[in-house]
Chains A and B, each alone.
Chain A
Amino acid sequence: MKSSTTIFSWCVSLMLSSALSLKAQSLLPSPSGEASRYEAYIELPRGYLSGVCIMRCAGDTLRGSIFNEFGVSAMDFVYDRRKDRVRLLSVMKMMDRWYIRRTLRSDLRLLLRSMNAGEGEYRNERRHILYRFTPMADSLDTPHPHDTEE
């Protein structure tokens, strides 16, 4: 009786710890420096931006680029994980206003925090902006005959 209770407790603990570790699995790129790719979707009150986000970690610094499906850049950013601060390196012209940049910096910081906690979505309730970054299956970066020429 005692041993079956022990086994049962052990099983429950194992299940709980597995569930917790799954939940906490970060969606951010690993510190090894390998780039991670995400399908990016940003929904705004009067429009949306969809495309791809690529991020790469180097030590405490995470660098990212967001661009649409046609390859047109939306923004480039750097996230300092230690200071928990986002710096925008470039922003597309229609979003290049100080108040938009301020919102983007803050929202990206909170989104990246969410992604670190395993959640790929962040919603700015005040501004009604939804950010959804979904990890891509390994993209087909198969070597193209012309790539080697460049």
Chain B
Amino acid sequence: MMKRTILTLCCLLASLLATQAQNTDEAAIRRRLNEATARINALSCDFVQTKHLSVLKDKMVSKGRMCYKKSDRLRWEYTSPYTYVFILNGNEVLLRNKNRSDVIDVDQNRMFREIVQIMLSSVVGNCLDDKNFKSSLKSTAAEYVATLTPQRKNMKQMFRLITLHFNRDNACVTRVELTEKNDDRTVIELNNIRLNEKLDDNLFLVR
């Protein structure tokens, strides 16, 4: 009876210590990632987007380029197999496809504001302390992985889960996974990442 009590207490203590260690680890990772994202003033890269369709058991691959300039300039451009440009400049967004071109005021459109926020946060990786998400972090040999669960209704309606993969060496986002409620998944892989290079302001013109 005594032995069993001691054994139970030891197990409880071990799990408590493990939880504390995990929390400490997560806090350290969070701090490191936040410091790294704070140092990003500009970012440009190529991306490959793969949309996995659960209904058709098929996938669609798109490619493009992305440029970001702190804190509210983003150019997201698809080059194949379709051409599509999304440019954020302050509170204006330009959407351009082969049929039309539209400029939207983000301040007047809540849904767009949320979409823009998600895009910026995913690209830069600075949503770990965002109260609009419940986040957890873990590390593997090659990377840090942040799992974000949307808390706001609008975002929850679009995505069930968002996963960000960070390179361990430079703490840059290298992969974004967006899981929808219908189990479709979009994976965006960022390649040829160039940090803090000078970017032409013309890249972000909306008019």
Contacts and interface: CB of A to CB of B under 8 A. Distances in A.
Contacts of B86: 69-70
B192 to A, nearest CB: 14
Interface stretch (B27-35, B58-66, B144-152, B197-205): B58-66
A52 B99 contact: no
Given A139-B60, A141-B61, A69 B99 contact: no
Interface string A50-70: 101010100000011101011
B128 interface: no
Interface stretch (B9-17, B18-26, B44-52, B131-139): B44-52
Interface in A48-100: 48, 50, 52, 54, 56, 63-65, 67, 69-73, 76, 89-90, 92-94
A39 B83 CA distance: 10
A140 B61 contact: yes
Nearest to A52: B60
Given A48-B100, A54-B56, A56-B58, A76 B80 contact: no
Contacts of B56: 35, 54, 56, 63-65
B180 to A, nearest CB: 6
Given A54-B56, A139-B61, A69 B78 contact: yes
Contacts of B80: 139-140
A3 interface: no
Contacts of B7: none
A79 to B, nearest CB: 12
Contact of B51 (A39, A67, A76): A67
B82 A69 contact: yes
By size class, the interface of chain A is 20 to 34
B51 A93 contact: no
B92 interface: no
B124 interface: no
Given A90-B182, A140-B80, A69 B97 contact: yes
Contacts of A89: 55, 182
Contacts of A73: 180, 182, 184
A136 B60 CA distance: 12
Contacts of A70: 49, 86, 186
Nearest to B84: A69
A141 B156 CA distance: 30
Interface in B139-167: 157-158
Interface in B97-138: 97-100, 111
A109 interface: no
Contacts of A137: 81
B184 A67 contact: yes
A62 B60 CA distance: 18
B189 A71 contact: no
B106 to A, nearest CB: 15
Given A72-B186, A90-B55, A140-B63, 5 more contacts: A39-B82, A56-B56, A67-B60, A72-B178, A76-B182
Interface of A: 35, 37, 39, 41, 48, 50, 52, 54, 56, 63-65, 67, 69-73, 76, 89-90, 92-94, 132, 136-137, 139-142, 144, 146-147
